[in-house]
Amino acid sequence: MGRLKGKIAIVTGAGSGLGKAISEAFAAEGAQVVLTDIDIEAATNAAETIGSPAIALEQDVVDETRWDEIFAATADTFGTPHILVNNAGLVIPGTIEDCSLELFRKQNAVMLDGVFLGCRAAVRAMKSNDQPSSIINLSSMAALQGYSPFVAYSAAKGGVRSMTKSVALHCKEQDYPIRCNSLHPAGIDTPMVRQEAVGASGGETPAIGMIKIGDLGHPNDVANLCVYLASDESRFMTAGEYPVDNGVLYKPA
Protein backbone atom coordinates (compact mmCIF):
# COMPACT_ATOMS: atom_id res chain seq x y z
CA MET A 1 0.00 0.00 0.00
CA GLY A 2 1.11 3.56 -0.67
CA ARG A 3 3.53 2.98 -3.54
CA LEU A 4 1.74 5.71 -5.52
CA LYS A 5 0.82 7.99 -2.61
CA GLY A 6 0.81 11.61 -3.75
CA LYS A 7 0.64 10.64 -7.43
CA ILE A 8 -2.07 11.74 -9.85
CA ALA A 9 -2.85 9.40 -12.73
CA ILE A 10 -4.86 9.52 -15.95
CA VAL A 11 -5.91 6.17 -17.42
CA THR A 12 -7.65 6.01 -20.80
CA GLY A 13 -10.07 3.27 -21.74
CA ALA A 14 -10.68 2.84 -18.03
CA GLY A 15 -14.29 1.73 -18.11
CA SER A 16 -13.49 -1.96 -18.47
CA GLY A 17 -10.77 -4.53 -19.05
CA LEU A 18 -7.16 -3.54 -18.54
CA GLY A 19 -7.92 0.15 -17.99
CA LYS A 20 -10.29 -0.60 -15.14
CA ALA A 21 -7.86 -3.04 -13.54
CA ILE A 22 -5.00 -0.54 -13.82
CA SER A 23 -7.12 2.21 -12.27
CA GLU A 24 -8.09 -0.07 -9.38
CA ALA A 25 -4.46 -1.04 -8.79
CA PHE A 26 -3.34 2.59 -8.83
CA ALA A 27 -6.06 3.57 -6.36
CA ALA A 28 -5.12 0.68 -4.06
CA GLU A 29 -1.59 2.09 -3.95
CA GLY A 30 -2.74 5.59 -3.03
CA ALA A 31 -3.00 7.42 -6.36
CA GLN A 32 -5.72 9.88 -7.28
CA VAL A 33 -7.11 8.61 -10.56
CA VAL A 34 -8.84 10.16 -13.55
CA LEU A 35 -10.62 7.47 -15.53
CA THR A 36 -11.46 8.37 -19.12
CA ASP A 37 -13.48 6.39 -21.62
CA ILE A 38 -15.65 6.98 -24.65
CA ASP A 39 -18.31 5.15 -22.61
CA ILE A 40 -18.82 7.63 -19.78
CA GLU A 41 -21.29 5.39 -17.97
CA ALA A 42 -18.72 2.59 -17.74
CA ALA A 43 -16.02 5.01 -16.59
CA THR A 44 -18.32 6.52 -13.97
CA ASN A 45 -19.25 3.10 -12.61
CA ALA A 46 -15.57 2.16 -12.41
CA ALA A 47 -14.64 5.43 -10.68
CA GLU A 48 -17.34 4.92 -8.06
CA THR A 49 -15.99 1.53 -7.04
CA ILE A 50 -12.21 1.93 -6.86
CA GLY A 51 -12.08 3.28 -3.31
CA SER A 52 -9.87 6.31 -3.85
CA PRO A 53 -10.37 9.93 -4.89
CA ALA A 54 -11.33 9.50 -8.55
CA ILE A 55 -13.29 11.17 -11.32
CA ALA A 56 -14.59 9.92 -14.64
CA LEU A 57 -14.38 11.94 -17.85
CA GLU A 58 -15.74 11.17 -21.28
CA GLN A 59 -13.01 11.03 -23.90
CA ASP A 60 -12.55 10.05 -27.52
CA VAL A 61 -8.76 9.76 -27.71
CA VAL A 62 -8.66 10.85 -31.36
CA ASP A 63 -10.10 14.27 -30.40
CA GLU A 64 -7.07 16.55 -30.10
CA THR A 65 -8.89 19.32 -28.23
CA ARG A 66 -10.31 16.87 -25.72
CA TRP A 67 -6.82 15.92 -24.58
CA ASP A 68 -6.18 19.51 -23.50
CA GLU A 69 -9.50 19.51 -21.67
CA ILE A 70 -8.69 16.23 -19.89
CA PHE A 71 -5.39 17.55 -18.57
CA ALA A 72 -6.98 20.86 -17.57
CA ALA A 73 -9.78 19.09 -15.71
CA THR A 74 -7.26 16.86 -13.96
CA ALA A 75 -5.20 19.86 -12.87
CA ASP A 76 -8.31 21.67 -11.62
CA THR A 77 -9.46 18.65 -9.60
CA PHE A 78 -6.27 17.09 -8.26
CA GLY A 79 -3.25 18.94 -9.65
CA THR A 80 -0.81 18.31 -12.48
CA PRO A 81 -0.70 14.57 -13.25
CA HIS A 82 2.39 12.44 -12.77
CA ILE A 83 1.19 9.35 -14.63
CA LEU A 84 -0.50 8.72 -17.97
CA VAL A 85 -1.55 5.26 -19.12
CA ASN A 86 -2.46 5.17 -22.81
CA ASN A 87 -4.70 2.13 -22.82
CA ALA A 88 -7.76 2.97 -24.95
CA GLY A 89 -8.11 0.86 -28.05
CA LEU A 90 -10.12 -1.37 -30.32
CA VAL A 91 -9.50 -4.47 -32.43
CA ILE A 92 -10.36 -4.54 -36.13
CA PRO A 93 -9.72 -7.93 -37.77
CA GLY A 94 -8.40 -8.17 -41.32
CA THR A 95 -5.45 -9.64 -43.19
CA ILE A 96 -3.32 -7.73 -45.70
CA GLU A 97 -5.65 -9.02 -48.43
CA ASP A 98 -9.02 -8.10 -46.97
CA CYS A 99 -8.44 -5.10 -44.68
CA SER A 100 -9.79 -1.92 -46.28
CA LEU A 101 -7.89 1.35 -46.16
CA GLU A 102 -10.81 2.86 -44.27
CA LEU A 103 -10.58 0.25 -41.51
CA PHE A 104 -6.78 0.47 -41.47
CA ARG A 105 -6.99 4.20 -40.85
CA LYS A 106 -9.71 3.80 -38.22
CA GLN A 107 -7.56 1.32 -36.30
CA ASN A 108 -4.51 3.54 -36.44
CA ALA A 109 -6.47 6.67 -35.50
CA VAL A 110 -7.37 5.19 -32.13
CA MET A 111 -4.32 3.06 -31.40
CA LEU A 112 -1.57 5.28 -32.80
CA ASP A 113 -2.88 8.82 -33.22
CA GLY A 114 -4.54 8.61 -29.81
CA VAL A 115 -1.31 7.53 -28.14
CA PHE A 116 0.62 10.29 -29.92
CA LEU A 117 -1.85 12.91 -28.70
CA GLY A 118 -1.72 11.52 -25.18
CA CYS A 119 2.07 11.45 -25.05
CA ARG A 120 2.31 14.99 -26.40
CA ALA A 121 -0.18 16.33 -23.89
CA ALA A 122 1.52 14.48 -21.05
CA VAL A 123 5.02 15.71 -21.88
CA ARG A 124 3.82 19.30 -22.15
CA ALA A 125 2.02 19.07 -18.81
CA MET A 126 4.48 16.95 -16.83
CA LYS A 127 7.86 18.30 -17.94
CA SER A 128 7.92 20.81 -15.07
CA ASN A 129 6.92 18.32 -12.37
CA ASP A 130 9.05 18.31 -9.25
CA GLN A 131 8.91 14.53 -8.88
CA PRO A 132 9.44 11.60 -11.26
CA SER A 133 6.65 11.09 -13.78
CA SER A 134 5.72 8.20 -16.03
CA ILE A 135 4.00 7.53 -19.35
CA ILE A 136 2.95 3.92 -19.89
CA ASN A 137 1.80 2.91 -23.36
CA LEU A 138 -0.15 -0.30 -23.84
CA SER A 139 1.21 -1.95 -26.96
CA SER A 140 0.92 -5.68 -27.72
CA MET A 141 2.88 -8.77 -28.60
CA ALA A 142 1.63 -7.99 -32.12
CA ALA A 143 4.24 -5.21 -32.14
CA LEU A 144 7.00 -7.76 -31.62
CA GLN A 145 5.96 -10.63 -33.87
CA GLY A 146 2.89 -9.60 -35.89
CA TYR A 147 -0.55 -11.23 -36.08
CA SER A 148 -1.52 -12.02 -39.67
CA PRO A 149 -5.31 -11.84 -39.03
CA PHE A 150 -4.88 -8.30 -37.62
CA VAL A 151 -2.64 -6.36 -39.98
CA ALA A 152 -3.93 -2.90 -38.98
CA TYR A 153 -3.78 -3.69 -35.27
CA SER A 154 -0.22 -5.02 -35.61
CA ALA A 155 0.87 -1.91 -37.51
CA ALA A 156 -0.64 0.41 -34.92
CA LYS A 157 0.90 -1.42 -31.99
CA GLY A 158 4.27 -1.49 -33.73
CA GLY A 159 4.04 2.26 -34.07
CA VAL A 160 3.27 2.59 -30.36
CA ARG A 161 6.38 0.58 -29.54
CA SER A 162 8.67 2.81 -31.63
CA MET A 163 7.01 6.05 -30.56
CA THR A 164 7.44 5.10 -26.91
CA LYS A 165 11.20 4.94 -27.38
CA SER A 166 11.26 8.27 -29.21
CA VAL A 167 9.27 9.94 -26.44
CA ALA A 168 11.53 8.44 -23.77
CA LEU A 169 14.70 9.58 -25.52
CA HIS A 170 13.34 13.09 -26.07
CA CYS A 171 12.50 13.43 -22.38
CA LYS A 172 15.95 12.21 -21.39
CA GLU A 173 17.66 14.58 -23.85
CA GLN A 174 15.62 17.50 -22.51
CA ASP A 175 16.25 16.47 -18.91
CA TYR A 176 12.54 16.16 -18.22
CA PRO A 177 11.53 14.08 -15.18
CA ILE A 178 9.47 11.76 -17.40
CA ARG A 179 9.96 8.09 -18.18
CA CYS A 180 8.13 6.37 -21.04
CA ASN A 181 7.77 2.61 -21.40
CA SER A 182 5.58 0.19 -23.33
CA LEU A 183 3.82 -2.98 -22.21
CA HIS A 184 3.20 -5.87 -24.59
CA PRO A 185 0.44 -8.15 -23.32
CA ALA A 186 -0.86 -11.27 -25.01
CA GLY A 187 -3.67 -13.56 -23.96
CA ILE A 188 -5.03 -11.46 -21.11
CA ASP A 189 -8.69 -12.18 -20.36
CA THR A 190 -10.38 -8.94 -21.41
CA PRO A 191 -13.36 -8.13 -23.64
CA MET A 192 -10.93 -7.04 -26.38
CA VAL A 193 -9.09 -10.37 -26.36
CA ARG A 194 -12.38 -12.25 -26.50
CA GLN A 195 -13.29 -10.07 -29.49
CA GLU A 196 -9.94 -10.93 -31.08
CA ALA A 197 -10.68 -14.63 -30.75
CA VAL A 198 -14.06 -14.23 -32.46
CA GLY A 199 -12.72 -11.96 -35.21
CA ALA A 200 -9.73 -14.07 -36.23
CA SER A 201 -11.71 -16.64 -38.19
CA GLY A 202 -9.01 -16.83 -40.83
CA GLY A 203 -6.08 -17.67 -38.62
CA GLU A 204 -4.70 -18.69 -35.26
CA THR A 205 -3.31 -16.27 -32.66
CA PRO A 206 -1.70 -16.85 -29.25
CA ALA A 207 -4.84 -15.49 -27.59
CA ILE A 208 -7.01 -18.07 -29.33
CA GLY A 209 -4.68 -20.87 -28.28
CA MET A 210 -4.74 -19.68 -24.68
CA ILE A 211 -8.53 -19.53 -24.68
CA LYS A 212 -8.64 -23.11 -25.97
CA ILE A 213 -6.52 -24.43 -23.11
CA GLY A 214 -7.90 -22.09 -20.44
CA ASP A 215 -4.58 -20.35 -19.96
CA LEU A 216 -5.56 -16.69 -20.19
CA GLY A 217 -3.85 -14.16 -17.96
CA HIS A 218 -5.72 -11.87 -15.58
CA PRO A 219 -5.89 -8.09 -16.08
CA ASN A 220 -4.07 -7.74 -12.75
CA ASP A 221 -1.04 -9.39 -14.35
CA VAL A 222 -0.73 -6.23 -16.44
CA ALA A 223 -1.93 -3.83 -13.74
CA ASN A 224 0.74 -4.98 -11.29
CA LEU A 225 3.49 -4.12 -13.75
CA CYS A 226 1.85 -0.77 -14.42
CA VAL A 227 2.01 0.02 -10.70
CA TYR A 228 5.74 -0.66 -10.72
CA LEU A 229 6.38 1.43 -13.85
CA ALA A 230 4.24 4.26 -12.47
CA SER A 231 6.03 4.27 -9.12
CA ASP A 232 9.39 5.78 -8.26
CA GLU A 233 10.71 2.24 -7.87
CA SER A 234 11.24 2.26 -11.65
CA ARG A 235 12.93 5.68 -11.75
CA PHE A 236 15.93 4.28 -13.70
CA MET A 237 13.82 2.54 -16.37
CA THR A 238 12.78 4.25 -19.60
CA ALA A 239 12.43 3.38 -23.30
CA GLY A 240 11.76 -0.21 -22.25
CA GLU A 241 9.37 -2.78 -23.69
CA TYR A 242 7.91 -5.36 -21.34
CA PRO A 243 6.09 -8.51 -22.50
CA VAL A 244 3.29 -9.80 -20.30
CA ASP A 245 2.53 -12.96 -22.25
CA ASN A 246 3.34 -16.14 -20.30
CA GLY A 247 6.08 -16.95 -22.81
CA VAL A 248 4.10 -16.56 -26.04
CA LEU A 249 7.11 -14.99 -27.74
CA TYR A 250 9.46 -17.73 -26.55
CA LYS A 251 10.60 -20.07 -29.31
CA PRO A 252 12.61 -23.11 -28.11
CA ALA A 253 15.78 -23.87 -30.03
Tell me which residues are annotated as active site: 153
Segment 28-32 long-range contacts (CB within 8 Å, at least 24 positions apart): 28/1, 28/52, 29/1, 29/2, 29/3, 29/4, 29/5, 29/227, 29/231, 30/1, 30/2, 30/3, 30/4, 30/5, 30/6, 31/4, 31/5, 31/7, 31/83, 31/230, 32/7, 32/8, 32/78
Spatial distance between the Cα atoms of 86 and 132, rounded to a whole number of angstroms: 18
Cβ 26 vs Cβ 83: under 8 Å? yes
How many other CB atoms are there within 10 angstroms of residue 201's CB atom? Answer: 8
User: E strands, the chain, where?
Assistant: 8-11, 32-37, 54-58, 83-86, 133-138, 178-185, 241-244
Cβ 67 vs Cβ 118: under 8 Å? yes
Spatial distance between the Cα atoms of 9 and 122, rounded to a whole number of angstroms: 11
